[in-house]
Structure 1
Amino acid sequence: MKAYRWFFLATVLIALSIPASARHLPDFVDLAEQYSPAVVNISTSRERPAVEGGGGGAPDIPEGMPFGDLLERFFGERGQPGLPERFERGSMGSGFIYTEDGYILTNHHVIENGGEIVVRLSDRRVFTAELIGSDPQSDVAVLKIDADELPTLKLGSSESLKVGEWVLAIGSPFGFDHSVTAGIVSAKGRSLPSDNYVPFIQTDVAINPGNSGGPLFNMDGEVVGINSQIYSRTGGFMGLSFAIPIDMAVEVARQLRETGTVTRGWLGVLIQEVTRELADSFGMSRPTGALVAQVQPDSPAEKAGFRTGDVILRFNGIDVPRSSALPPIVGRTPVGSEVDVDVRRGDEEIVIGVTIEALPEEVASARSRTPAPPVQPQSLLGMQVEPLTEEERSALGLGESGIRVIEVTDNPARAAGVRSGDVIAQFGGDPVTSVDDFREQVEAASAGRSVPVLIHRDGNPVFIALRIPNS
């Protein structure tokens, strides 16, 4: 009996020592039951021309073909020749109702291929939806079905979402309606190469094809994101899922409903990451901000006096820790706003006032990208250069500057990532106007120090940091 008491006491002590968060794991039952009715399955259907000798829902199966009966049962009965064929492309994705009169949020890529949009509710009602508007840059689309008093979801705030917080997804992976998966927020403000204007929420919630467009919930049952993408090398879930913040999605939806288009702020600079070597070459204590590799002509940045080589540290009071943070900040800035931008130029920090304009359609369509960082540099020189003709400089928009690298001969330049064909436009912030000018600039540079060099490679401006070798 004494041994039993000790065992009971030890069990109680162990239970009390377990953190409360571990003793009380989240219960998703109520969330799934309450909010699944407002999550919809979205597919598309369209007609395709009749194929001579075939039609209907199946391929033309010759009489007497082995397994012909089995193929007919799989594909459906043989169609009637000469009739157009209506077919459904299957479950394309998910969406959710956010107004009682039938407005639905989903992804642009779910409905981008056109055709009739079919929406299925949990009560098995089927509607043909009207496309109100779609925005490829944010991957958000708004649909409308003709119905009233529909179940809806409560929209929350993605800004208040915390890393490590539990989240829940409901969708139609592989066509399995109203599947529920859960996980935690892994990171916020993620930038993906093809989506410069979306600061994605990264989670480890299991998301698969068909989940796209479905809601991401917090534990209060509020929608905090729209599930949009996964990172995968196999096509299946690998633990990295990305959702569009609901704050951004709601603003995009508002503009689509009011005007049919989305307007974004535009600064007009091509930027790249500040590497450790570049930070050292600029005299910065640590790599931060967005490095301006090019100021676009007739842009707000050009009008405000931005220069190539400026490092944008803060935009309208918001810190820019990495280059990928800048496009979403600028994009959600109202057109016509006058904002202050903190910039490092040379050895000092200055403030530039700029009036934000609307992102031009041709720029939005091109999805201008941040230049890829060059190979990590280590040293300098070991290259042969030649002058450019006036026509070549004019074609590159370099004015009076620019020399071409014709050969990389040994390790210093090669280790720095310099390539044959690169055009050197600036060295240490100063224009390179000739081969002799470049030689003098190199000789005047301090040994053992990194120098920022602006090159043009395949038409793209990119900064690299070249370290002057010790003599």
Structure 2
Amino acid sequence: MKLTKNASSNVVSLSAAKTTSKRRSRLLNGTMALAIAGAMVAPLTLVPATSQAEPVRVDVPAMPNFVGLVEAVQPTVVSVRVRSEVKEHDRLSGIPPMFRDMPDDHPLQKFFREFGGKGGEQKKKAPPRKRFDQSQGSGFFISDDGYVVTNEHVVEGGTEFTIVTSEGDELEATLVGADKRSDLALLKVESEEKFEYVAFADDAPLVGSWVVAVGNPFGLGGTVTAGIVSARGRDIGAGIYDDFLQIDASVNRGNSGGPAFNVKGEVVGVNSAIVSPSGGNVGIAFAIPAQTAKKIISDLKEDGAVTRGWLGVQIQPVTKDIAESLGLDNENGTLVAEVQGDTPAKAAGFQAGDIILKVDGEEVNGPRELAKVIAGYSPNTEVEIEYWRDGEINTATVKLGTIPEEKQQASAKQSEDANTALVDSLGLELATAEEAGVDEEGVVVTKVDPDGPAADKGLAPGAIITEVANVKVQSPADVAEQVEKAREQGRKAVLLRVTRGENTLFVAIPLEKGDE
């Protein structure tokens, strides 16, 4: 099974047609039809059981009719054609890989030069020609003056953009801005025509509520599917800001950037990705929630880019083991694994091991929630952060910065012949940084027992333990000492602060019972 961003490379030519005045009244007529259809459907009724021995029964209303809804919203949904320049291949691109290392005087070199090898002499004399690729996705109007929302991965790398309306009109568009982290983009059509458009929903849809997806699957254009919201708040590994709606309406390649509507004709999500072993629909699709899209699109419209607040910490969840190792009663909050240098968090005095509980009085439980809250502020905004440290609740006022570009991660070095010491209770073999040939402070993991508790928590050779139970360590003996102290204190787990390349995190490893 793989996760696929569902942009299509299929190209479809739609017949041109003039927009008629009937399209103007379609939105109103569709809304009225939907209201009438809704009045004919009985509301959901819970039937109480007559006794505790009987199960709860539900009277399910008849299947809704989406004809009026579709007639109202379909003119607002468009196909998005993207033309992008293809970079020239290198001089060996016309030669099969198995022949690329042959000597220049080899007879086959002459064959490739004379019969189409792009690295040949004849090809080198011809002036290079630009090559273009064309892909296609979906989008929708959000204003009558021609602003169109789609996915960032639909327009990525594009140089020319064409909007194809539901009636076949082809309109040139320009890219206003795109945001890779949220996978959203905004296009603009310059036209004197007033376009029909839709609005984002103010409220998030409930799980189980109906959704209608409209888009351009496989380049077919104008396709409508229906389903329900299967789940909310999905993290699909696309980024730290993941907060997707999961829907089971049929969504395929080419639906990317298209809207998912509620029964009121409001956009509840922007279709963005699917889970599929084959690239086709299997009933699991993901949409960017309207609440997220509204703010991102507003920023793109105003500035052409999205600026997010930045704290400057590496963070991780507070697990049950970590809470136990710190003596906490619950798993609330977000653990600071590392405070990066020259950052707002550093200036405010935050330290590794702090647990962030609230931002401006609002609870933030987990890295994803904290990241979303901080990113929702503009840079240079001052926020009040409540955090836990050494058994006490503290507050700090932080002036947020601007999120920097992501850095490439490096791997820690390890010496094969390092002298090691065994910490039996953790299932680790350790060495000093000097013994392992590592120019870092801390104790290097040189071997992990695959059946030990450290392996269960994901520790691997090359990781560097810098602290144990909030105490800095420089040798395997230091690690063993702090592990023994944690055991004597009755801890069920010991907390290690570990670095892996440029990443730092806390790992709580369960302790085995000592000899009695």
- TM-score bin, normalised by smaller chain: 0.7 to 0.9
Does the CA-based 8 Å contact 1:191-1:325 persist in structure 2?
no
Cα–Cα, structure 1 residues 50 and 450, in superposed 2: closer, same or farther, change >3 Å? closer
- Write the deviation string for residues 140-193 of structure 1: whole angstroms up to 9, x where unpaired: 111111223433333133544322222211101111211111222223332332
Cα–Cα, structure 1 residues 114 and 367, in superposed 2: closer, same or farther, change >3 Å? farther
C-alpha displacement at 1:83, in angstroms?
Answer: 12
Cα–Cα, structure 1 residues 82 and 270, in superposed 2: closer, same or farther, change >3 Å? closer
The amino acid across from 1:461 in the alignment is: T
The amino acid across from 2:348 in the alignment is: A
Aligned residues: 409
1-structure distance, mates of 2:86, 2:384: 55
C-alpha displacement at 1:346, in angstroms?
Answer: 3.6
Match of 1:406 in 2: 446
Which runs of structure 2 are paired with 1:57-206 in the superposition (5 Å)? 89-90=134-135, 92-157=136-201, 159-206=203-250
2-structure distance, mates of 1:49, 1:417: 41
Does the CA-based 8 Å contact 1:129-1:144 persist in structure 2?
yes
1:428 paired to 2:469: yes
C-alpha displacement at 1:47, in angstroms?
Answer: 6.9
Does the CA-based 8 Å contact 1:289-1:321 persist in structure 2?
yes
Cα–Cα, structure 1 residues 188 and 416, in superposed 2: closer, same or farther, change >3 Å? closer
2-structure distance, mates of 1:210, 1:50: 26
Match of 2:61 in 1: 23
The amino acid across from 2:428 in the alignment is: M
C-alpha displacement at 1:265, in angstroms?
Answer: 0.8
The amino acid across from 1:433 in the alignment is: Q
Cα–Cα, structure 1 residues 88 and 416, in superposed 2: closer, same or farther, change >3 Å? closer
Cα–Cα, structure 1 residues 109 and 351, in superposed 2: closer, same or farther, change >3 Å? same
Match of 1:208 in 2: 252
RMSD: 3.3
2-structure distance, mates of 1:404, 1:48: 46
2-structure distance, mates of 1:228, 1:169: 12
Does the CA-based 8 Å contact 1:102-1:148 persist in structure 2?
no
- Write the deviation string for residues 318-362 of structure 1: whole angstroms up to 9, x where unpaired: 3323322222221111222222223232433333322212212x2
Cα–Cα, structure 1 residues 342 and 37, in superposed 2: closer, same or farther, change >3 Å? same
2:275 aligns with one of 231, 236, 257: 231
Match of 2:484 in 1: 443
2-structure distance, mates of 1:391, 1:382: 18
2-structure distance, mates of 1:254, 1:367: 30
1:41 aligns with one of 79, 85, 96: 79
Cα–Cα, structure 1 residues 156 and 132, in superposed 2: closer, same or farther, change >3 Å? closer
1:289 paired to 2:333: yes
SS at match of 1:177: coil
SS at match of 1:258: helix
- Write the deviation string for residues 92-134 of structure 1: whole angstroms up to 9, x where unpaired: 2100111112111111111113132121111211112111111
Cα–Cα, structure 1 residues 413 and 94, in superposed 2: closer, same or farther, change >3 Å? closer
- Write the deviation string for residues 62-95 of structure 1: whole angstroms up to 9, x where unpaired: xxxxxxxxxxxxxxxxxxx9997887625x2100
Match of 2:401 in 1: 357
1:318 paired to 2:359: no
Does the CA-based 8 Å contact 2:261-2:267 persist in structure 1?
yes
The amino acid across from 1:445 in the alignment is: A
2-structure distance, mates of 1:231, 1:113: 24
C-alpha displacement at 1:450, in angstroms?
Answer: 0.8
Extract unaligned runs of 5+ from structure 2: 1-44, 48-55, 90-125, 410-423
2-structure distance, mates of 1:108, 1:452: 40
C-alpha displacement at 1:390, in angstroms?
Answer: 12
SS at match of 1:440: helix
Deviates more, 1:345-354 or 1:423-432: 345-354
Which runs of structure 2 are paired with 1:233-252 in the superposition (5 Å)? 233-252=277-296
C-alpha displacement at 1:299, in angstroms?
Answer: 1.1
1:270 paired to 2:311: no
1:300 paired to 2:338: no
The amino acid across from 2:433 in the alignment is: L
Cα–Cα, structure 1 residues 176 and 414, in superposed 2: closer, same or farther, change >3 Å? closer
SS at match of 1:219: coil
Cα–Cα, structure 1 residues 82 and 34, in superposed 2: closer, same or farther, change >3 Å? farther
Does the CA-based 8 Å contact 1:255-1:261 persist in structure 2?
yes
Match of 1:470 in 2: 513
Does the CA-based 8 Å contact 1:162-1:185 persist in structure 2?
yes
2-structure distance, mates of 1:208, 1:152: 25
C-alpha displacement at 1:407, in angstroms?
Answer: 3.5
Cα–Cα, structure 1 residues 88 and 323, in superposed 2: closer, same or farther, change >3 Å? closer
- Write the deviation string for residues 200-224 of structure 1: whole angstroms up to 9, x where unpaired: 2222222111111111111111112
2-structure distance, mates of 1:220, 1:121: 22
C-alpha displacement at 1:291, in angstroms?
Answer: 2.0
1-structure distance, mates of 2:360, 2:73: 38
The amino acid across from 1:383 in the alignment is: L
C-alpha displacement at 1:463, in angstroms?
Answer: 1.7
Does the CA-based 8 Å contact 2:144-2:197 persist in structure 1?
no
C-alpha displacement at 1:425, in angstroms?
Answer: 0.5
C-alpha displacement at 1:444, in angstroms?
Answer: 2.0
C-alpha displacement at 1:30, in angstroms?
Answer: 0.9
1:387 paired to 2:427: no
Match of 1:59 in 2: none
Match of 2:113 in 1: none
Cα–Cα, structure 1 residues 222 and 367, in superposed 2: closer, same or farther, change >3 Å? farther
Does the CA-based 8 Å contact 2:314-2:505 persist in structure 1?
no
C-alpha displacement at 1:280, in angstroms?
Answer: 2.0
C-alpha displacement at 1:32, in angstroms?
Answer: 0.4
Cα–Cα, structure 1 residues 163 and 50, in superposed 2: closer, same or farther, change >3 Å? closer
C-alpha displacement at 1:45, in angstroms?
Answer: 3.2
1:456 paired to 2:499: yes
- Write the deviation string for residues 229-281 of structure 1: whole angstroms up to 9, x where unpaired: 11223212222221112233232222223222211011111122333222222
2-structure distance, mates of 1:299, 1:167: 43
The amino acid across from 1:41 in the alignment is: S
